[in-house]
Amino acid sequence: ENYIAKVSDFGASRLVPSNKAQITTLVQGTLGYLDPEYFHTSQLTEKSDVYSFGVVLIELLTGLEAISFERPEHERNLCMYFVSVMKEERLLDIIDKRVLNDKSIEQLKEAANLARRCVRLKGEERPTMKEVASELEGLRTTQKHPWGIHDLPDEETEYLLHDSYGCGTSYDGSTSFSVGPDSMKNQVPFDIDGAR
Percentage of the chain with pLDDT > 90? 44
Domains by residue range for the chain, with CATH:
12-148 (1.10.510.10)
Cβ(46)–Cβ(128) below 8 Å: yes
Structure confidence at residue 144 as a pLDDT band (50, 70, 90): low
Cβ(48)–Cβ(38) below 8 Å: yes
| Residue 50 reports pLDDT greater than 80 | yes
The larger pLDDT score, comparing residue 59 to residue 179, is at: 59
Residues 3-21, mean pLDDT to the nearest whole number: 53
Structure confidence at residue 104 as a pLDDT band (50, 70, 90): confident
- Residue 38, pLDDT score: 86
Element containing residue 49 per DSSP (H, E): helix 46-62
| Residue 94 reports pLDDT greater than 50 | yes
